[in-house]
Chain A
Amino acid sequence: MNITVNGEPKETSPNNSILNLLNELEINAQTVVVECDNTIIKQEEYATTILQDGAVLELIRFVGGG
């Protein structure tokens, strides 16, 4: 199925969770803020939120240093 990640079209397997997608993209789930279809997803819901076909995601990644 097709989703959009940060404005780019992407293909992913059906019934994929947000956590799986982050793992596929090699993104640390601890240091990213995920918006899915205009909703900010709580971290504890990454594993249980299943992506729907056509989902639009914004991933904001954070790096250390301050």
Chain B
Amino acid sequence: MKICIHEREEEWPATTTMTEVAANFPGADILLVNGHHVKHDYKLQPGDECWCLSRGGTSSKQEMEDLLALRHTPEIQRIIQTSTVGIMGLGGLGSMVAVALARMGIGRLLLADFDVVEPTNLNRQYFFLDQVGSPKTKAMAANLARINPFVELELLQQRLDAAAIKKHFSKVDVLVECFDDPVMKADAFRLALTDMKPIRYVGASGVAGYGSNNDIRTQSPYPGIYLVGDGHSDPKQGLSLMAARVGIAAHQQANQVVRILLKDSENAL
């Protein structure tokens, strides 16, 4: 019978179990068939797709891509892993967007932040205590490398302004605005609608507090331009930025990026 082992089709006897297949992968202790965990005595069926992996082992780039293709389907994965996404600001929004995109196997991330990790960031941002004091771009690169070391990263350790945004982010497939400062949010949004047109853009406004989940929503005020948030919740005493609600917004942004890449149309809402 024909079965697929690590994406290669091979001819094996009809009575083959995972024991025989796994014998070719010394140390393999994670056995997957069609994306599901199985035991060694699992009897293989024609057409089964088999993976034998080692816990704690470093996957190769090809292995990581194959695994993601198995999860997401090859057509979808090919688009994700050939795309470049720019993220402006690595706070509660940007750090979570970067992690989500890295987990999904994005090809290239262009990450910009001028700041260092501060203790007050840890209530919501994807950094760790031992990274306090490190530049956010470098700390983020280290964290992403532990999740998916094959994402190509370009780091911009600088404060952005309109000229720098135009210079560095004009060629990305999708630009994600994750600034904290409302002036920068407005400046970047205006830029996306004028000098950088027709860039595909996902901004955010109104993510603080613990208000209703369902008030965080994604709108498309212009073709190819998306805005996530409730539109009004800015951080104030008793309603500061909190991990859960900022996380909802960040993941709406990340999912909007995926929808833009996969739908490839002006209306991907």
Give A19 Cβ to nearest chain B Cβ, in Å. Answer: 15
**Of A28, A33, A40, A61, which is in contact with the most chain B CB atoms at under 10 Å from its CB?**
A33
* A-chain residues with CB within 8 Å of residue B91 when the two chains form the complex: 66
Using A65-B241, A66-B179 as known contacts, say yes or no to A60 and B221 having CB atoms under 8 A apart.
Answer: yes
Indicate whether B78 reaches chain A with its CB closer than 8 angstroms. no
Q: Which of B142-188 contact A (CB under 8 A)?
A: 178-183, 185-187
- Asked if A48 is an interface residue, CB under 8 A from chain B, the answer is no
Q: A61, A62, A63, A65: which has the most chain B beta carbons within 10 Å?
A: A65
Interchain CB contact under 8 A, B246 and A66: yes
The residues of A that contact B227 with a CB separation of less than 8 Å are 60
Q: 1/0 per residue A49-66: CB within 8 Å of B?
A: 000000000101111111
Instruction: Tell me the smallest distance from the CB of A41 to a CB of chain B, in Å.
Output: 9
**Nearest chain B CB to A65's CB is how many angstroms away?**
5
User: A40–B89 Cα gap in the complex (Å)?
Assistant: 24
A28, B233: Cα distance in complex, Å? 16
> Interface size bucket, B side?
20 to 34
Kindly identify which residue among A33, A40, A61, A65 contacts B246, using a CB–CB cutoff of 8 Å: A65
Most buried by A among B183, B207, B221, B233: B183
**Which of B94, B185, B194, B232 sits near A31, CB closer than 8 Å?**
B185
Given contacts A30-B183, A31-B182, A31-B183, whether A65 and B233 have CB atoms under 8 Å apart is yes
A32 to B241, CA, bound (A): 21
Would you call the interface of chain A mostly helix, strand, loop, or mixed? mixed
Mark each residue of chain B from 217 to 238: 1 if its CB lies under 8 Å from any CB of chain A, else 0.
0000100000100011111000
Closest chain B residue to A28 by CB distance?
B182
Q: Which of B82-114 contact A (CB under 8 A)?
A: 89, 91-94
Residue pair B190, A64 in contact (C-beta under 8 Å): no
* Top 7 A-B pairs, shortest CB-CB distance: A63-B234, A62-B185, A31-B182, A64-B182, A66-B180, A66-B93, A62-B182
13 residue pairs bridging A and B, Cβ less than 8 Å apart: A31-B183, A35-B193, A58-B221, A60-B221, A60-B227, A61-B231, A62-B189, A62-B205, A65-B207, A66-B94, A66-B180, A66-B185, A66-B204
Chain B residues close to A by CB (< 8 Å): 89, 91-94, 178-183, 185-187, 189-190, 193-194, 204-208, 221, 227, 231-235, 241, 246
| Further contacts, 10 of them, CB under 8 A, given A62-B185, A66-B179 | A33-B186, A40-B193, A40-B194, A58-B221, A64-B180, A64-B185, A65-B206, A65-B233, A66-B93, A66-B204
